[in-house]
């Protein structure tokens, strides 16, 4: 894997203890000064509040200039770049820092592996972000969407280089079964059978976070206890094969004992990258925003009535989606209901292979044709799909579309149940509470976080009469909500049993996507979790409700807020 805005980032912490590392850092600094000739390369220095980061942040001085942020520099004044001295310009989408005192451009460098994105200081984050401006920050093998679809991904090799280690991703149901087995009477034999079933090697690594892995020898008697402890409090987990073998060790001591090792290789560019000032579009848009007709996203607007739209979703779309996906024409899709410019369904279909666009459109038209002939549909329009990148974020836009797909699949199945049930509309509003709670759970919100989120997004009654109505209705439903949300409501009812099966499938679709979205949020690259969840819930209610989704939204938010708040107070 290649990473970082400087070759110094990963090894700078060792410079205080090894003169050879210090010499190496000096060579790196000289090379970067040559690449940025005529500019000032300044080391950003800062001491964050995270005490545990002290070990990572310690490093020697190896650059000629420093740019201190909320700290003091030991450099002479003429070698310090203050924030007050800096001017910012943005020629052709390239963000440039200019020192008025030095009359030169300043290139900030934060030569540490510390994750600066977790700090609360946007100026510090901005300075650190600039060091990788228009650069590819990491280089490693990716499985793309397959990563979300498969629980096991095999090792990937190119010649003698392992690009990707064999990886097992365990979901909640698998971990529950594993915990039950390894804590039972025949725990050791269960673990052996479980290992054989997953074809795991002797040496594995339990992934604790991005850069922390716990080595386990499955042949060791100690492995059972380690695995029991690791999985006891987890709902999702990742296991990777551990490639180190003592007999293949490249680092050995005088007694020829082998040690695991990592090698650091630095590459120096001979000349400055010529594409340092890209066009504004390249800087702003990292993903494609707009998809005209004929591209990978096929966008249909189907004009109809509210009841007719529900009929289409229940009777036409299930067979349409089944054909599109079973034939491999489409790999995901989602829909929304809209009332502006006439009631219509907005449906987006992602084509699996671009050359199949025509076949996808033809298949959709064939399924819609009878409804057009019978006047159930008044107009069908193919339009350009424009992503709401500002709403969902650059790094989480495609993941949000995966979330929409999971919700649309689940909603389509639930709408069929609703329309076949005797009290379908009662089921619909009850499911509004259930599905909102489902989203909050899938995104791993604790009870206190649920209260905080709903307190922000709930819409207080605009008048006393409405507030009184909500209070009266909540008192009627107070005893129903706990049963709805813990899956005990009408446990013996076949309709609710069917609903719970659909919800379980929905969880399986949404959990991997939610996990990836949370990673982006936690890394500081995506939008806030709260803003994304508000949008996801809003869209879910739109898909579920035939009419007046905003009114349903007010009731759902208010009642769930009161329910969660009451539950929190009792705990």
Q: What is the pLDDT of residues 257-266, one digit of tens each?
A: 888 887 778 8
The gap from C-alpha 85 to its chain's centroid, in whole angstroms, comes to 38
Neighbour tally for 491: CB within 10 Å: 10
At residue 461, the pLDDT reads 54
CA dihedral in degrees (281, 285, 286, 291; nearest 10)?
-110
- Return residue ranges of the chain for CATH 3.30.70.100: 286-387
Q: Would you say residue 279 has pLDDT above 50?
A: no
- Closest by CA position to 327, among listed 352, 344, 306, 346: 352
- Closest by CA position to 302, among listed 398, 367, 351: 367
Angstrom distance (rounded) from CA 188 to CA 185 = 9
Three-state secondary structure call for residue 75: coil
Q: Mean pLDDT in the chain? A: 88
Alpha helices for 478-548 (secondary structure H): 480-485, 494-522, 529-544
The whole-model pTM stands at: 0.53
Ramachandran region, residue 376 (left: φ > 0; alpha: ψ -120 to 50; beta: rest):
alpha
More confident residue, 527 or 353: 353
Tell me the CB-side half-sphere exposure of residue 327, using CA atoms within 13 A.
Answer: 13
Three-state secondary structure call for residue 226: helix
Angstrom distance (rounded) from CA 67 to CA 46 = 9
Q: Would you say residue 274 has pLDDT above 70?
A: no
- Out of 35-44, 124-133, 182-191, 466-475, pick the least confident: 466-475
Where does the pLDDT of residue 467 fall: very low under 50, low under 70, confident under 90, or very high at 90 and above? confident
Burial of 462 (0-12, 13-18, 19+ CB in 10 A): exposed
Take residue 216 and report the two structure tokens written for it: 């386990």
Q: For tokens 């020697």, what's the residue?
A: 60
Residue 278 · residue 373 · CB < 8 Å: no
At residue 97, the pLDDT reads 93
More confident residue, 225 or 263: 225
Neighbour tally for 458: CB within 10 Å: 17
Strands (E), 304-387: 330-338, 344-351, 379-383, 385-386
Take residue 496 and report the two structure tokens written for it: 């609710």
Tens of pLDDT, residue by residue over 105-155, are 999 999 988 888 888 889 999 999 998 886 665 667 888 767 777 899 999
Is domain 286-387 annotated with CATH 3.40.920.10? no
Burial of 171 (0-12, 13-18, 19+ CB in 10 A): middle
Where does the pLDDT of residue 278 fall: very low under 50, low under 70, confident under 90, or very high at 90 and above? very low
- Closest by CA position to 302, among listed 206, 203, 189, 383: 383
At residue 283, the pLDDT reads 34
At residue 189, the pLDDT reads 94
């Amino acid at each position: 894997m290649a990473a970082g805005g400087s070759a110094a980032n990963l090894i700078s912490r060792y410079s205080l203890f090894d003169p050879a590392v210090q010499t190496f850092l000096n060579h790196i600094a000289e090379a970067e000064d040559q690449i940025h000739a005529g500019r000032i390369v300044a080391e950003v220095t800062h001491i964050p509040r995270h005490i545990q980061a002290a070990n990572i942040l310690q490093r020697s001085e190896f650059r000629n200039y420093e740019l201190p942020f909320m700290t003091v520099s030991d450099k002479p004044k003429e070698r310090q770049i203050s924030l007050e001295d800096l001017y910012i310009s943005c020629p052709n989408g390239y963000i440039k820092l200019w020192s008025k005192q030095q009359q030169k451009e300043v290139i900030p460098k934060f030569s540490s592996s510390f994750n600066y994105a977790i700090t609360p200081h946007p100026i510090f984050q901005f300075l650190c972000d600039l060091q990788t401006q228009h650069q590819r920050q990491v280089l490693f093998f990716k499985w793309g969407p397959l990563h979300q679809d498969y629980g096991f991904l095999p090792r990937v090799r190119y010649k003698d280089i392992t690009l990707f280690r064999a990886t097992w991703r365990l979901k909640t149901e698998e971990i529950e079964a594993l915990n039950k087995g390894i804590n039972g009477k025949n725990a050791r034999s269960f673990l052996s059978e479980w290992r054989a079933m997953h074809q795991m090697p002797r040496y594995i690594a339990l992934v604790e976070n991005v850069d922390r892995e716990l080595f386990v020898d499955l042949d060791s008697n100690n492995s059972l206890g380690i695995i029991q402890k690791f999985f006891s409090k987890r709902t999702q987990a990742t296991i990777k094969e551990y490639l180190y073998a003592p007999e293949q060790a490249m680092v050995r001591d005088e007694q020829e004992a082998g040690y695991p090792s990592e090698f650091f290789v630095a590459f120096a560019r001979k000349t400055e990258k010529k594409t340092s000032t890209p066009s504004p579009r390249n800087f702003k848009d990292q993903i494609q925003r707009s998809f005209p007709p004929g591209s990978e996203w096929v966008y249909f607007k189907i004009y109809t009535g509210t009841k007719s739209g529900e009929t289409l979703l229940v009777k036409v779309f299930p067979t349409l989606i089944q054909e599109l996906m079973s034939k491999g024409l489409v790999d995901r899709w989602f829909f929304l209901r809209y009332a502006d410019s006439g009631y219509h369904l907005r449906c987006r279909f992602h084509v699996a292979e671009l050359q199949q666009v025509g076949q996808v459109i033809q298949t959709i038209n064939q399924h819609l044709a009878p409804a057009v002939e019978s006047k159930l549909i008044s107009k069908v329009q193919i339009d350009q799909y424009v992503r709401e990148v500002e709403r969902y974020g650059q790094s989480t836009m495609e993941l949000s579309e995966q979330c929409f797909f999971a919700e649309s699949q689940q909603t389509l199945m639930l709408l069929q149940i609703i329309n076949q049930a005797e009290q379908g509309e009662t089921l619909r509003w009850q499911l509004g509470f259930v599905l909102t709670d489902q989203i909050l759970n899938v995104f791993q919100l604790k009870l206190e976080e649920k209260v905080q989120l709903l307190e922000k997004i709930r819409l207080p009654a605009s008048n006393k009469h409405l507030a009184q109505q909500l209070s009266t209705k909540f008192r009627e439903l107070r005893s129903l909500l706990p049963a709805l949300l813990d899956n005990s409501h009408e446990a013996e009812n076949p309709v609710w049993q069917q609903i719970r099966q659909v919800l379980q499938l929905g969880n399986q679709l949404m959990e991997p996507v939610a996990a990836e979205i949370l990673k982006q949020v936690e890394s500081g690259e995506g939008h806030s979790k709260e803003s994304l969840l508000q949008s996801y819930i809003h869209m879910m209610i739109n898909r579920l409700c035939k009419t007046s989704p905003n009114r349903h939204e007010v009731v759902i938010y208010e009642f769930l807020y009161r329910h969660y708040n009451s539950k929190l107070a009792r705990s």
